[in-house]
A and B are shown apart, each in its own frame.
Chain A
Amino acid sequence: MFEKIKKDFTTKTLVLIPIAIAINIVVGELVARLKLPIYLDSIGTVLVGAIAGPWAGALTGGLANLIWGLFTPTSAPFFYVAAVIGFMAGLAGKYGAFEGETPYWVSVLVGAVFVFSLTLFVLAFINVNVDETGYATFPSMGELFSRYLLLFIVAILLGGAIGYFLLQKGGYAGLWGLITGVIAAIISAPTAAYVFGGVTGAGTDLLVAAFRASGGGILSSVLAQGSVSDPFDKMLSFMVVWLILKALPARFKAR
């Protein structure tokens, strides 16, 4: 086990990690300057995972949040989420998600399945029944399908379009990003809900507000918010890393 972990840490990896953390911070700032509704502040972490393996990725993510916590203390408690993102990127790299090109039909399928599940999740959430005692019951799938059939068809088409035009040939990287995003949303929700009362003081709070308004509890509203914004954000991060690795010159890859 330790030998395996050690293998991830050559001198080059060590040099790469601070650079990656700086990339996280600066890209996050540039994205904010472009006023884009995403964070994209884990590109460096994903890059290390992809190049140097899961353990190096995890260390990069964890340290990134702890070091950045010196300036914005609120990011420090989420260090374990960042570590998991780095680890997942390492696994994705091991399974070749950042290599080669994905057939278009796979990208379309990934996009369609994802937007479909997201729609299902959000609709189930909005249609939750809360009785007088405050006990919540989710509607059944069949009920949802019959009521929102048209919406589901639109979701599948939209997802397919996203897959075709956005994921393009980076479908596998995008898929790993989506999965990582879902995991990140699930594991960060308890901390966000318990320590931070469910808010971040940023734009995504509007989503939390919307889910609270439709009757969700605090933890589940945070989870719902995360499930909408995190997978999209991580999908884009993984795809940007796929692009970076593709653009790397032969000279660098040969090492």
Chain B
Amino acid sequence: MYVARASGLHQLHPLTKVLTALCLLIAGLTLPGNWTSYCITLLIVFPLSAWGKVFPNLLHIVWIVSLPFAISVLLIQSLFWGAGTPIFEFWLFAPKVEGARYALISLGKIILVMSSFLLFSLTTRPDALMIALKQAGMPSSIAYIIVTTLQIVPSFQRKGATILDAQRSRGLETEGNLWVRARALVPIVLPLALGSLMEVEERAIAIEARAFNSHKAETSLIEIPDTQFQKNFRTVTLVAMPLLMIFGILWRL
């Protein structure tokens, strides 16, 4: 996901970016006003991503992922809205203004969720994030899980493809009617699960041999620059998030 660029946003402390993204997300979802999420996306997230020189990348991914959502939510909510003002009437179809409005409001939230998430994942090196999280007190076991998962997924994908090929070569039909395809499931899923469970023991010995259970503080080769201003800013976001949520709930009551 990470896109290397020389920008001020890239140089910020990873936690500053994570907390900013979370704060924007919560603000967009909880603050009153139907169009707040659009305002936050357009006025804050997009300009920030332009500052980080990743605006085109962000827009591209948001476009690809939100398109099916957009089509689905617009069709379903406008066509099946129930009582309301029709936009037009054609045969059985009478999309409602209120439904379309609701769909657009939902779409705004979806776009905000995606773009605030992308804002930090496009501009933050995963290893820098890991080190920052560890320094902030996250257990090294959680860091191990995240890093290892990202490393092994590509090899598991290749493994899955090979298993599919191997079983098809043994005459397993994977095309045809639903029942035929459903029957292919077990011979494909079981080798993947069994083969990888057999590796667990070896991997466990390997990480124990590298002093994984040591309780000494780790040192890191990568320095993550931080400033007092960013530290203060992060404290503000941490206070702001629960306040935003409480405010959002009280407003709606």
Listed in ascending order, the chain A residues whose CB lies under 8 Å from chain B are 9, 11-12, 14-19, 21-23, 25-27, 29-31, 33-37, 40, 43-44, 47, 59, 63, 67, 69-74, 76-77, 130, 134, 194-202, 205, 208-209, 212-213, 215, 218, 240, 243-244, 247-248, 252, 255
**How far, in Å, is B167 (CB) from chain A's closest CB?**
11
**How far, in Å, is B73 (CB) from chain A's closest CB?**
4
A197 contacts B141, CB within 8 Å? no
CA distance A37 to B182 in the complex (A): 10
Any A CB within 8 A of the CB of B117: yes
Listed in ascending order, the chain B residues whose CB lies under 8 Å from chain A are 1, 29, 65, 67-69, 71-73, 75-77, 79-83, 102-103, 105-107, 109-110, 113-114, 117-118, 121, 126, 141-142, 144-146, 148-150, 152-153, 156-157, 159-160, 164, 174, 178, 181-182, 184-186, 188-190, 192-194, 196-201, 203-204, 207-208, 212-213
- A200 partner residues in chain B, CB cutoff 8 A: 69, 72
Of the listed residues A11, A12, A67, A215, the one surrounded by the most CB atoms of chain B closer than 10 A to its CB is A11
B189 contacts A43, CB within 8 Å? yes
With A74-B65, A134-B83 as given contacts, are A26 and B157 in contact (CB-CB < 8 Å)? yes
- A202 partner residues in chain B, CB cutoff 8 A: 68
Specify the main secondary structure of chain B where it touches its partner: helix
CA distance A247 to B186 in the complex (A): 11
With A23-B192, A73-B114, A197-B106 as given contacts, are A12 and B82 in contact (CB-CB < 8 Å)? no
With A11-B212, A11-B213, A73-B65 as given contacts, are A199 and B152 in contact (CB-CB < 8 Å)? no
Contact of B76 among A11, A25, A63, A199 (CB under 8 A): A199
- Which chain A residue has the least Cβ–Cβ distance from B150? A67
- A244 partner residues in chain B, CB cutoff 8 A: 189-190, 193-194, 197
9 sample A-B contacts, Cβ–Cβ < 8 Å, listed by A number: A18-B152, A30-B189, A40-B189, A69-B117, A74-B113, A195-B106, A199-B106, A244-B194, A248-B194
B145 contacts A18, CB within 8 Å? yes
**How far, in Å, is B18 (CB) from chain A's closest CB?**
11
A199 contacts B113, CB within 8 Å? no
CA distance A39 to B106 in the complex (A): 24
Contact of A205 among B72, B193, B201, B207 (CB under 8 A): B72
Q: Nearest 7 pairs between A and B by C-beta?
A: A197-B106, A201-B68, A212-B80, A18-B148, A73-B117, A22-B156, A199-B72
- B152 partner residues in chain A, CB cutoff 8 A: 18-19, 22
With A196-B109, A197-B73 as given contacts, are A36 and B1 in contact (CB-CB < 8 Å)? no
CA distance A134 to B83 in the complex (A): 9
- B67 partner residues in chain A, CB cutoff 8 A: 201
With A18-B148, A134-B83, A244-B190 as given contacts, are A34 and B68 in contact (CB-CB < 8 Å)? no
Contact of A63 among B146, B174, B182 (CB under 8 A): B146
CA distance A14 to B147 in the complex (A): 12
**How far, in Å, is B114 (CB) from chain A's closest CB?**
4
CA distance A196 to B66 in the complex (A): 10
CA distance A71 to B154 in the complex (A): 13
**How far, in Å, is B32 (CB) from chain A's closest CB?**
14
A130 contacts B82, CB within 8 Å? yes
- Which chain A residue has the least Cβ–Cβ distance from B140? A14
CA distance A35 to B178 in the complex (A): 8
- A196 partner residues in chain B, CB cutoff 8 A: 69, 73, 106, 109-110
**How far, in Å, is B33 (CB) from chain A's closest CB?**
15
A14 contacts B192, CB within 8 Å? no
A212 contacts B77, CB within 8 Å? yes
CA distance A243 to B186 in the complex (A): 8
Of the listed residues B126, B145, B207, the one surrounded by the most CB atoms of chain A closer than 10 A to its CB is B145
B197 contacts A252, CB within 8 Å? yes
**How far, in Å, is B103 (CB) from chain A's closest CB?**
6
CA distance A31 to B184 in the complex (A): 10
**How far, in Å, is B131 (CB) from chain A's closest CB?**
17
Contact of B193 among A14, A25, A35, A43 (CB under 8 A): A43
CA distance A194 to B118 in the complex (A): 21
Contact of A16 among B105, B106, B113, B200 (CB under 8 A): B200
- A134 partner residues in chain B, CB cutoff 8 A: 82-83
- B29 partner residues in chain A, CB cutoff 8 A: 194-195
B193 contacts A23, CB within 8 Å? yes
CA distance A50 to B80 in the complex (A): 42
B193 contacts A198, CB within 8 Å? no
A70 contacts B1, CB within 8 Å? yes
A195 contacts B109, CB within 8 Å? yes
Contact of A255 among B82, B142, B201 (CB under 8 A): B201
**How far, in Å, is A72 (CB) from chain B's closest CB?**
7
